[in-house]
């Protein structure tokens, strides 16, 4: 993990100039020193409490003893250390007990946990859950639920999917009915009884904290007793595992939320992934049927509230994928510097009496290392850029905040999907660098690869992200978001083109931008969404490559003129790798998009 800190420092301070955030009122007390103190603390906790146990949590998968879910002791200790550091509430207001830390720094600090042991968790969902309540909850809901989540007493989940409704949330059938005539009088919020099953619920059951606060999407039946079809009918509820009073104290009553099963996954095994039954009578509560839940926001606005949380979660998944990619890069780099095998190509390597060289001296090993560096550091830069946009959205001038919002709309699907695909590929290369050792469980890289395979699925699959990007984000508000992004990319090009060492890249980026723009138009030329979206994933792959190429070129503009530092040479090389080996893939992906190729969409089922 030796290279992560200097990489973060460079991206945060030399490139994004994060220390300037203290010019904003919210961050006025901060400085590079306070930021560094946070990074130091997280780096230390991750090194001491997370990294040593990453293999343990893979082999000692969560299990249910009939009453409780058993997690390794190390997971409890890591969670305690994380909570004690104050990181759960770091971004919150001082008056909430937070430290008003910029999200940029919080996101950067998160990579220490992600590289050390991604599935031990860093309270991503708890933070998202509590943040949602801070925006959409009542004062009482904030005080009772959100604050106790920030304080570490409670953890949080998000319960969207159901066994029959994964990507298609409009088809959920969890039902919420008013709980008695006085249901609206409950100080914790209008009280409902929920019945239904929720699938893929991360951290849905465990003993890490006093209580688990589920945020649950459910439908309130209409007067005819039927559920409203579609997403309009969806409302949002707080469903605590154990009931609490209006001071946040446990009442001693278990709510009717029961673990129906643990999903046994190929990776990411440190976190439980559960099927939960709500209101099926396992734990009857207060003499009624159904789990007790409290409405958040207005009926029918559940999905809108939840989307607030999902965008944050998506950036978090991108960061997790990137962290795993970086972990594999560092592991394979260390291995390549250590492992002797073979001799140089050509005359110099012909003498077998000479000792073997370390594999980092072979061109193909360097290629695989440079590809990893280029993918993972590029993704890291993009995600920090997005995090910086989040801070801009919250603390910038109205105009800058709106631009940041729009850019985030366009960039979020890329920030979630690109790392989940290409940092997974990086993990595969990390295995390959290790040769046979890479596929054994004696080395960490195979676990990174397995852990990373979830990221292309959870929090919205690749297909969902691609439909979001091409179907909504690049066309919304008259294409304003895309135009804004193009403006930023062009600004980078204009600077780079004046530099003899960067003008070739600048031209290549300009052509790629032009090509992606034209493909966007061609995709929509018939105005028919099924034509446009038939090749949405290849579009997103090309779009992502454009964005990462832009990010790298922009990063290079931050290098000191005439730098002779090795790290800067590394950045120049990683950029060159991306422009020479990766950017040329864009036309291949866009070919199908431009032509609205119907080969797949019109494939008859019986022909498979």
Residues 358-387 that bind a copy of itself (CB under 8 A): 360-367, 369-370, 373
| Candidate ranges 176-184, 488-496, 498-506, 576-584; the one touching a copy of itself (CB under 8 A) | 576-584
Q: Which of 123, 161, 271, 277 binds a copy of itself (CB under 8 A)?
A: 161
Please give the helix or strand (H or E) that residue 380 lies within, else none. helix 363-395
Q: For residue 279, give the nearest of 170, 159, 395 by alpha carbon.
A: 159
**Selected binder of a copy of itself within 72, 98, 151, 166 (CB under 8 A):** 166
**Cα–Cα dist 152/16, whole Å:** 31
Ramachandran area for residue 100 (φ above 0: left; ψ -120 to 50: alpha; else beta): left
| Nearest distance from C-beta of residue 102 to a copy of itself, angstroms | 30
Nearer to a copy of itself, 312 or 421 (CB): 421
Shorter beta-carbon distance to a copy of itself: residue 296 or 533: 533
Which tokens sit at 472? Answer: 């909504």
Give catalytic residues, as residue numbers: 459
Closest to a copy of itself by CB, 103 vs 268, is 268
- The answer to the question of residue 207 lying near a copy of itself (CB under 8 A) is no
Nearer to a copy of itself, 370 or 410 (CB): 370
In terms of DSSP bridges, do strands 211-219 and 154-159 run parallel, antiparallel, or are they unpaired?
parallel
- Minimum distance from residue 361 beta carbon to a copy of itself (Å): 8
The 8-class DSSP code of residue 223 comes to T
Kindly tell me which of 22 and 263 has the beta carbon lying closer to a copy of itself. 263
Binding of a copy of itself by 190 (CB under 8 A):
no
Binding of residue 440 to a copy of itself (CB under 8 A): yes
> Where do runs of H (alpha helix) occur along 498-605?
503-523, 529-533, 536-557, 566-577, 586-594
Q: Is residue 352 part of the contact set for a copy of itself (CB under 8 A)? A: yes
What's the rounded Cα separation, in Å, for the pair 418 and 161? 23
Output the six-digit token pair for 385. 């850029």
Q: Is 360 exposed, middle or buried (0-12, 13-18, 19+ CB in 10 A)?
A: middle
For residues 298 to 337, the per-residue mask of contacts with a copy of itself, x marking binding by CB under 8 A and - elsewhere, is: -----------------------------------x---x
CB half-sphere exposure, 591, CA atoms < 13 A: 6
Q: What is the DSSP letter of 228?
A: P
As given in the structure block, the two tokens for residue 263 are: 């999903």
Q: Which of residues 213-272 bind a copy of itself (CB under 8 A)?
A: 229-231, 263-267
C-beta closer to a copy of itself: residue 145 or 200: 200
- Of 97, 180, 435, 487, the one binding a copy of itself (CB under 8 A) is 435
SS3 labels along 47-63: HHHHHHHHHHHHHCCCE
Exactly one of 4, 74, 199, 469 binds a copy of itself (CB under 8 A); which one? 199
Determine if 73 is a binding residue for a copy of itself (CB under 8 A).
no
**Phi/psi at 236 (5° precision):** -120, 135
Alpha-carbon distances of 108 from 405, 545, 561, rounded to whole Å: 20, 22, 26
Interface residue with a copy of itself, options 306, 456, 482, 542 (CB under 8 A) = 456
- The DSSP output letter for 24 is S
Q: Which of residues 116-145 bind a copy of itself (CB under 8 A)?
A: none
- Is 326:192 a contact under the CB 8 Å cutoff? no
Question: Given candidates 288, 342, 479, 510, which one binds a copy of itself under the rule CB under 8 A?
Answer: 342
Smallest distance from a copy of itself to CB 487, Å? 27
Name which of 187 and 340 has its Cβ closer to a copy of itself. 340
Q: Which is nearer to a copy of itself, 213 or 537 (CB)?
A: 537
Q: Is 463 in the site for a copy of itself (CB under 8 A)?
A: yes
Q: Is the C-alpha dihedral spanning 529, 532, 534, 538 positive or negative?
A: negative
Q: Which residues within the stretch 478-537 sit at the binding site for a copy of itself (CB under 8 A)?
A: 528-530, 533-537
- Tell me how crowded residue 147 is: count the other CB atoms within 10 A of its CB: 20
| CB of 328 closer than 8 Å to CB of 389 | no
CA gyration radius, the chain: 25
Name the residue nearer to a copy of itself (CB basis): 28 or 601.
601
What residues from 5 to 24 belong to the interface with a copy of itself (CB under 8 A)? none
63 binds a copy of itself (CB under 8 A): no
The answer to whether residue 185 forms part of the interface with a copy of itself (CB under 8 A) is no
Interface with a copy of itself by CB under 8 A: which range of 244-252, 402-410, 501-509, 578-586?
578-586
3-state secondary structure of 235: strand
Site string for a copy of itself, 536-565 (x = CB under 8 A): xxx---------------------------
Cross-strand bridge partners of residue 296: 236
Q: Does 608 bind a copy of itself (CB under 8 A)?
A: yes
For the bound state, the minimum distance from the C-beta of residue 141 to a copy of itself, rounded and expressed in Å, comes to 29
Residues 6+ apart with CB under 8 A from 218: 172, 174, 175, 176, 192, 194, 196, 234, 235, 237, 293, 302
Total of residues contacting a copy of itself (CB under 8 A): 102
Shortest CB 88 distance to a copy of itself, Å: 26
What is the three-class DSSP state of 398?
helix
- The least CB distance from residue 307 to a copy of itself, in Å, is 17
Q: Kindly tell me which of 94 and 307 has the beta carbon lying closer to a copy of itself.
A: 307
Site for a copy of itself in 97-116 (CB under 8 A): none
Smallest distance, a copy of itself to C-beta of residue 133, A: 26
> Smallest gap, in angstroms, from Cβ of residue 320 to a copy of itself?
14
Q: Which residue has the tokens 């300037």?
A: 20
Q: Where are the alpha helices (DSSP H) in 137-187?
A: 139-141, 147-150
Task: Please give the sequence-ordered ranges of beta strands (E in DSSP) within 279-426, or none if there are none.
Answer: 291-296
């Amino acid at each position: 993990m030796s290279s992560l800190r200097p990489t973060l420092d460079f991206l945060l301070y030399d490139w994004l100039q994060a220390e300037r955030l203290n010019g904003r009122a919210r961050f006025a007390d901060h400085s590079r020193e306070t930021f560094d103190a946070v990074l130091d603390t997280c780096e230390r906790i991750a090194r001491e409490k997370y990294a040593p146990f990453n293999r343990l949590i893979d082999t000692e998968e969560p299990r249910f003893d009939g009453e409780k879910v058993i997690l390794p002791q190390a997971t409890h200790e890591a969670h305690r250390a994380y909570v004690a550091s104050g990181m759960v509430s770091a971004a919150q207001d001082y008056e909430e007990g937070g430290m008003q830390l910029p999200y940029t720094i919080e996101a950067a600090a998160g990579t220490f946990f992600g590289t050390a042991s991604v599935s031990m968790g860093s309270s991503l969902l708890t933070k998202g859950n509590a943040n949602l309540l801070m925006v959409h909850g009542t004062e009482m809901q904030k005080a009772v639920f959100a604050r106790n989540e920030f304080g570490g007493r409670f953890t949080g989940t998000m319960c969207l999917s159901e066994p029959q409704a994964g990507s298609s949330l409009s088809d959920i059938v969890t039902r919420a009915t008013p709980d008695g005539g006085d249901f609206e009088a409950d100080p914790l919020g209008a009280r409902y009884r929920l019945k239904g099953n929720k699938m893929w619920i991360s951290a849905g059951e465990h003993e890490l904290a006093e209580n688990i606060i589920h945020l649950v999407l459910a439908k309130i039946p209409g007067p005819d007793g039927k559920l409203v079809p579609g997403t309009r009918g969806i409302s949002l509820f707080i469903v605590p595992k154990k009931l609490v009073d209006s001071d946040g104290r446990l009442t001693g009553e278990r709510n009717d939320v029961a673990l129906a099963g643990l999903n046994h996954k190929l990776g990411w095994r440190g976190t439980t992934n559960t099927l939960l039954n709500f209101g099926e009578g396992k734990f009857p509560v207060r003499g009624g049927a159904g789990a007790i839940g409290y409405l958040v926001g207005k009926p029918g606005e559940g999905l809108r509230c939840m989307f607030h949380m999902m965008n944050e979660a998506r950036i978090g998944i991108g960061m997790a994928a990137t962290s795993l990619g970086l972990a594999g890069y560092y592991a394979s780099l260390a291995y390549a510097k250590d492992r002797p095998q073979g001799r140089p190509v050509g005359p110099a390597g012909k003498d077998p009496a000479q000792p073997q060289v370390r594999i980092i001296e072979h061109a193909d090993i360097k290629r695989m290392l440079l590809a990893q560096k280029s993918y993972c550091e590029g993704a890291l830069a993009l995600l920090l850029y997005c995090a910086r946009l989040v801070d801009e959205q919250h603390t910038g001038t109205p105009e800058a905040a709106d631009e940041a919002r729009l850019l985030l709309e366009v960039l979020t699907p890329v920030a979630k999907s690109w790392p989940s695909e290409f940092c997974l590929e990086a993990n595969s290369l990390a295995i390959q660098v290790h040769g046979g050792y890479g596929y054994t469980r004696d080395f960490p890289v195979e676990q990174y690869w397995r852990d990373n395979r979830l990221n292309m699925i959870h929090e919205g699959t690749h297909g969902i992200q691609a439909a979001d990007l091409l179907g909504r984000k690049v066309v919304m508000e008259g294409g304003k978001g895309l135009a804004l992004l193009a403006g930023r990319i062009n600004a980078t090009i204009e600077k780079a083109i004046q530099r003899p060492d960067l003008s070739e890249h600048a031209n290549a980026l300009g052509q790629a931008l032009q090509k992606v723009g034209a493909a966007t138009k061609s995709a929509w030329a018939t105005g028919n969404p099924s034509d446009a979206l038939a090749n949405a994933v290849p579009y997103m792959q090309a779009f992502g490559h454009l964005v990462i190429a832009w990010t790298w070129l922009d990063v290079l503009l931050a290098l000191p003129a005439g730098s002779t530092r090795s790290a800067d040479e590394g950045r120049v090389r990683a950029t060159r790798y991306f422009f020479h080996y990766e950017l040329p893939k864009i036309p291949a992906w866009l070919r199908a998009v431009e032509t609205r190729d119907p080969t797949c969409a019109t494939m008859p089922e019986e022909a498979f």
